[in-house]
Amino acid sequence: MILQALDDYYRRKCDDADPAQRLPVFGLEQKEIPFLLEITTEGELIQLLDTRTLNEKKKKVAQIFRMPQGVKKTSGVAANLLWDTLEYVLGVDTKGKPERVAEQHAHFVARVDALPQSAHDDAGIQAILKFFACFNLPQLEAQPAWAQALESNAVMSFRLHGDVDLVCQRPAVVKAVLNVATDDDARLAMCLVTGDDAPIQRLHTSIKGVWGAQSSGANIVSFNARAFESYGKTERQGENAPVSQAAAFAYTTALNHLLRKDSGQRIQVGDASTVFWAEKESEFETTIPDIFGEPPKDDPDQGARAVQALLFAVQTGKLGGPDGVNRFHVLGLAPNAARISIRFYHCLPLHELGERILQHFKDLEIVRGPHDPQYPSLFRLLAAVAVQNKADNIPPNLGGAIVDAVFAGPDVPYPSLWLNAAVGRCRAEQNVNYLRAAAIKACLNRQIRRSSVTPTNQPPEKEFLSMLDLTNPSPAYRMGRLFAALEKIQEEASPGLNATIRDRYYGAASSTPVAVFTTLLRLKNSHLKKLPVGRGMWFEKLLGEILGTVSDFPRHLPLPDQGRFALGYYHQRQDFFTKKPDDSTIITEGTPS
């Protein structure tokens, strides 16, 4: 499936409208063909067509066509397939060497005869063979362009009357050309990519550009000394996974193109080099990598614009049209010694891909400060849960696992390692910041969503909101809110403190609540005495609202509940510093009337 998709992408890029983006063609080359023999399906000559036109320098330039790869000319006789000089194609002597010309023409006809039966069934090949059988030189000499073609021994080829493409460009002929062996000793077998009987590639071209792999390149398809000996295939490694020479050239060329240094269709997430491409040309081929990649320093809003463009396309129904059914491929590659391993692969329509990406950002959505990014990049999210916020400390498999979960669907949980890392950094640094809170919310909501589709005796848990949820009954969430309220009381009672209860007690409060909250609730009484009476009463009511459904403080909170604690703390903390539209004072949604 992956190699087939890459093979299709390669063939699309071979015909790219931008010449700079075209990929090299296996078995074909761009060639100027000055003259065309236009014939009927019965082999009768219609005209000798001159394709040359005057350029800006008033010089005649022939039209360029994609032709079968030319052979290397030597002093001997070597004919090209379906195109060559006038002497080779027609057997007409222009240099006074009739015997040599006869040999050249015979070799040209023999190459056409040697094409496989699938090509011989094509009307174009049949017409050429009929043309040779009833060759009429006087009719050719009567053509207006004959004198110029004869004088220069011009290069020519064939086209059926009424066709736009040349005979050598007809699908059956091209298919036969691409399946001609480049190695005379290559074995014929059914290609696993195309399904054609074709010469098999023994050693595949190396793939370069995968981060962490060997600089000289590594392979997706390869065999070690023992593996390729199965089923008696002891001589040629490629026979155990038969891929034709043309298909091997296609998929390796396409993948190297996607992985190139300046590619706009790749991103690096952890150790996973991830590439994107579509079945049909689409602007989102380069937009989607911008969504997940770290924006350049000179354009920090690049990722946000990419997300907004995708959101606009969804909202306006653009993805409901033809572009929406265009299938996108997402391939994650990781190094594995001399080989490349497939970390993940997804193939889905653009409209579904867009919905899953937007669901990812919806899962991350949480109340934030004015300077926090609305659509955080994957790199920032990963760095936020790494030791010292350094990229070198990001767990190597985490980035690829997150991207895999994003494209797998909204019910697929994010990797537990992400939640573990986010909660761990909150405890280690006593700091629940925006990016960590967003990661925790996303991980918890995905776990809740997955458990809701699995039948259990327990009532389904409510997903966490992006802002403070006064109705959330989770004890861990409410204890996080409680800790934030106690910290706020301390801050107002002792302005200018260098350290609060968070710096000393956050880790213990979020993991072993019973050992901490008894002390904290006793200490808050002395803090409340320092506040104005009205403010103290307000805090007492808030604490009563928070503890309303909490029956007891547990001895230990498992890691998911530590995440709920962190989320409750972050929500309550943000709410304290959020101005309400009907009041200029700093209050909380939980303020009782």
The kind and range of the H/E element at 84 are: strand 83-85
Does a structural domain hold residue 591?
yes
List pLDDT tens digits, range 374-393. Answer: 999 898 999 999 998 888 88
In sequence order, the 6+-apart residues with CB closer than 8 A to the CB of 1 are: 345, 347
Q: Is 494 found in the same domain as 459?
A: no
List pLDDT tens digits, range 278-330. Answer: 999 888 888 888 888 777 788 888 888 888 888 888 888 777 777 788 999 99
Place of tokens 């991207």: 403
Between 66 and 104, the higher pLDDT residue: 104
List pLDDT tens digits, range 193-230. Answer: 998 888 888 778 888 888 888 877 888 887 765 555 56
Average pLDDT over the chain, rounded to whole?
Answer: 87
Q: Is 574 found in the same domain as 472?
A: yes
**pLDDT band for position 31 (cuts 50, 70, 90):** confident
Which is it for strands 35-39 and 327-336: parallel, antiparallel or unpaired? unpaired
Dist CA 200 CA 182 (whole Å): 10
Does a structural domain hold residue 266?
no
Give the residue from 151, 178, 205 where a domain finishes.
178
Give the residue from 178, 213, 237 where a domain finishes.
178
Does a structural domain hold residue 183?
no
Is it the case that residue 585 has pLDDT exceeding 50?
no
Does a structural domain hold residue 256?
no
Structure-token pair, residue 271:
């150790």
Does a structural domain hold residue 269?
no
Which is it for strands 60-61 and 53-54: parallel, antiparallel or unpaired? antiparallel
Among the listed residues 284, 218, 292, the one whose alpha carbon sits nearest the alpha carbon of residue 255: 218
Residue 176 has a pLDDT of 79
Q: Is 489 found in the same domain as 418?
A: no
Q: Which sign does the torsion angle of CA 535, 538, 544, 546 carry? A: negative
Q: Is 457 found in the same domain as 487?
A: no
What amino acid occupies position 370? P
List pLDDT tens digits, range 86-108. Answer: 999 999 999 889 999 999 999 99
List pLDDT tens digits, range 164-184. Answer: 999 998 888 888 776 665 555
535-to-74, 483, 580 alpha-carbon distances in Å = 98, 18, 17
Q: Is 100 found in the same domain as 80?
A: yes
Backbone angles phi, psi at 270, to 5 degrees: 65, -130
Structure-token pair, residue 204:
């595949």
Q: Is 544 found in the same domain as 444?
A: no
What amino acid occupies position 213? A
Give the residue from 146, 178, 210 where a domain finishes.
178
Residue 587 has a pLDDT of 43
Between 26 and 185, the higher pLDDT residue: 26
Is it the case that residue 586 has pLDDT exceeding 50?
no
Residues 145-165: what's their mean pLDDT? Answer: 94
Q: Is 486 found in the same domain as 460?
A: no
Q: Is 136 found in the same domain as 84?
A: yes
Does a structural domain hold residue 11?
no
Percent of the chain whose pLDDT exceeds 70: 92
Q: Is 491 found in the same domain as 426?
A: no
Residues 505-521: what's their mean pLDDT? Answer: 92
Domain that holds residue 127: 28-178
Which is it for strands 155-160 and 35-39: parallel, antiparallel or unpaired? parallel
Among the listed residues 89, 97, 32, the one whose alpha carbon sits nearest the alpha carbon of residue 62: 32
Q: Is 580 found in the same domain as 545?
A: yes
Is it the case that residue 588 has pLDDT exceeding 50?
no
Q: Is 373 found in the same domain as 521?
A: no
Does a structural domain hold residue 261?
no
In sequence order, the 6+-apart residues with CB closer than 8 A to the CB of 526 are: none
Does a structural domain hold residue 365?
yes
Q: Is 421 found in the same domain as 478?
A: no
How many independent structural domains does the chain possess? Answer: 3
Residues found in the chain = 593
Is it the case that residue 113 has pLDDT exceeding 60?
yes
Residue 16 has a pLDDT of 83
Dist CA 558 CA 418 (whole Å): 15
Backbone angles phi, psi at 330, to 5 degrees: -125, 120
Q: What is the pTM of this model?
A: 0.75
